[in-house]
Amino acid sequence: MKPKYARALRGRLEGRDKTRLEALANERLDAFVADAVQLCGPAVVRILTDSEADRRYIRRQAIENGEEAPLATPGHTVHFDGYQDQGRDKEVTRYLLPKGVNLGANLNTMSRERGLAEVRGFLEGAMRGRVMYVAPFCLGPTNSPFSLSCVQITDSAYVVHSEHLLYRPGYAQFERAGGGDFFRFLHSAGRLEDHVSAEPDKKRIYIDIDEDMVYSVNTQYGGNSMGLKKLALRLAIRKADREGWLAEHMFVMGVHGPRRRVTYFAGAFPSACGKTSTAMLPGETIVGDDIAYLRAIDGQARCANVEAGIFGIIQDVKAADDPVICKVLTSPGEVIFSNVLVKDGRPYWLGMGRELPTEGVNFSGPWHIGKIDKQGSEIPPVHKNARYTIDLRSLGNVDARFDDPQGVPVGGIIYGGRDSDTWVPVQESFDWPHGILTMGAALESETTFATLGQAGVRAFCLMSNLDFLAIPIGKYISNNLNFAGGLKTVPRVFAVNYFQRARDGKWLTGMRDKAVWIKWMERRVHDDVEAIRGPTGWLPLLGDLEALFRKVL
């Protein structure tokens, strides 16, 4: 380690932790840790490896420091975010632009100089008296063309614990790969009151595109604080743009067709529009539910789940619709519940299929029915964006190839939005450009509770990735169009909409109908069924749907 870094770390990084950092012999990493220590001023630095002992240590820390509390079921914990910290905060999430760079008017940006001064100002001394965790991770399967190294630095054991469940370990990859490229994330929960970030007005999530680095401060909500989730997606979109692949807000699933055939689909849906429930359809297998990288490998479109777990919306998860998830949420094993209602050590959520207690602890602290917030609004028992965090491998329906270093072949791409009156429930595009433009790029959806702000407002949400775009929109669309150029077989493109309503407001399709749409799409990829040429795409024949409804439901 260079003497200037060693000097900066003296007294804070000692013994085993010092040996662990030195063993990686990575000057960029040394510089990152030294800068974070000088800026945030922690009492001590812990370098985490991939060992089970380190995972146990983090689980214990999260409980000891009060960020998580154990629930009655062994292995289950609950975590609360602040009252004003219950979703991704688009307003304070900004790209820091170096002079002369323009990302277009649709992206939230500010000058790099001003942004760095502001966010580094909020991080100054933010970890005083606390432990700073340095956790290396791998996005995508390890030892794979998809692998991407990352380092999360944070003072939150909850953040590291969540990332342990959601991502592959990365220390061994740093040992193997030496000093290659990696993404850097620096997070501090900031000043805490009752274990939650106490200064929401100083919440900032700033993305330094010049340095592949993200700063996040005065927030705990996973989507703002876990670097590896949507913050890494933003950096990956830029890296993919430079290198000729795609980073998408997509699930990946295996759909089981006739004669034991498995066809893989990648699907982009805005948050809270049926993405996880599609990936979790009974009888099918899940590869991932949120973020996928797509690459052309030997002329074939292949994709990999960037993650290894699920940070899922818990509202409406009930045994009748989601038996596989429900089993994990009610059995011993590692689960973090966030922002649910807790009473007598049991978690409760909206739409769980049973009556909720009239008092308990929730995202507002001790709660009772009728409790009013500072603005005079009644506080609901559970926040709509309450979530569960689990390891994918705890699910009974995980696909056999979920960890395949080569990813899985992509048979079809699906775009889905929340659209009460326009899109049909399922259709196929005429070809790749038609699908990319009219189904992906033109996707419109009603806003949901997954981001702060008003829900139910119809907005463009191209490829369900607009929130995370880090390059100009036109460039992103042409990258998607061009992707097919490197392929021998081009994936089919489909559009679905589960949210059509009649004039009287009643749903026009049932919750479970998506199980049929997906089987129809699987048949179409193999040309097993014909379709009608409609004005906006290929539509199913009634007879094929009738047969599938009988068989599937």
Instruction: State the number of binding residues for ligand SPV (CB under 6 A).
Output: 9
- Known catalytic residue at 273: yes
Query: By the 8 A CB rule, do 483 and 296 touch?
Result: yes
Residue 145: Cβ within 10 Å count:
15
Residue 538 pairs with which residues in a beta bridge?
A: 428, 533
Q: Counting beta carbons within 10 angstroms of the beta carbon of residue 356, is it exposed (0 to 12), middle (13 to 18) or buried (19 or more)?
A: middle
Site string for Mn ion, 340-369 (x = CB under 5 A): ------------------------------
The structure tokens listed for 276 are 């996880």
Q: Which of 30, 248, 290, 544 binds ligand SPV (CB under 6 A)?
A: 290
Is 290 one of the binding residues for Mn ion (CB under 5 A)?
Answer: yes
CB of 195 to ligand SPV, least distance (A): 20
Query: Judged by CB, which is closer to ligand SPV: 271, or 362?
Result: 271
Q: Which of 450, 462, 495, 545 binds ligand SPV (CB under 6 A)?
A: 450
CA distance 491 to 526: 11
Q: Which of 158, 311, 363, 517 binds ligand SPV (CB under 6 A)?
A: 311
CA distance 248 to 122: 31
Q: Count CA atoms within 13 Å of residue 540 on its CB side.
A: 26
Choices 40-48, 114-122, 144-152, 286-294 (CB under 5 A): range interacting with Mn ion: 286-294
Choices 122-130, 250-258, 282-290, 343-351 (CB under 5 A): range interacting with Mn ion: 282-290
Three-class SS of residue 367?
strand
- Beta-strand ranges (E) seen in 160-299 are 168-169, 183-188, 192-193, 196-197, 204-208, 213-217, 246-248, 250-256, 262-268, 285-288, 292-297
CA distance 188 to 234: 20
CB-nearest residue to ligand SPV: 223
**How is the beta sheet containing 246-248 ordered, strand by strand?**
246-248, 292-297, 300-305, 408-409
Choices 211-219, 222-230, 351-359, 531-539 (CB under 6 A): range interacting with ligand SPV: 222-230
Query: Judged by CB, which is closer to Mn ion: 290, or 322?
Result: 290
Is 222 one of the binding residues for ligand SPV (CB under 6 A)?
Answer: yes
Query: Judged by CB, which is closer to Mn ion: 241, or 290?
Result: 290
Residue position matching structure tokens 């929401």:
200
Query: Judged by CB, which is closer to Mn ion: 268, or 426?
Result: 268
Radius of gyration of the chain (CA): 23
CA distance 448 to 203: 21
- Written as one string, the DSSP assignment of 38-58 is HHH--SEEEE--S-HHHHHHH
Q: Which of 20, 46, 88, 112 binds ligand SPV (CB under 6 A)?
A: 88
Three-class SS of residue 26?
coil
Q: Is the dihedral of CA 412, 415, 416, 422 positive or negative?
A: negative
Is 271 one of the binding residues for ligand SPV (CB under 6 A)?
Answer: yes
Catalytic position from the list 273, 303, 326, 461: 273
88 binds, among ligand SPV, Mn ion, none (CB under 5 to 8 A by kind): ligand SPV
Is 223 one of the binding residues for ligand SPV (CB under 6 A)?
Answer: yes
Q: Which of 229, 302, 384, 418 binds ligand SPV (CB under 6 A)?
A: 229
Query: Judged by CB, which is closer to Mn ion: 17, or 290?
Result: 290
Query: By the 8 A CB rule, do 478 and 238 touch?
Result: no
Choices 65-73, 208-216, 223-231, 412-420 (CB under 6 A): range interacting with ligand SPV: 223-231
* 26: alpha, beta or left? (left if phi > 0; alpha if psi -120 to 50): beta
Site string for ligand SPV, 410-449 (x = CB under 6 A): ----------------------------------------
Active site residues: 273
Q: Which residues bind Mn ion (CB under 5 A)?
A: 290
Where does this chain bind ligand SPV (CB under 6 A)? 88, 222-223, 229-230, 271, 290, 311, 450
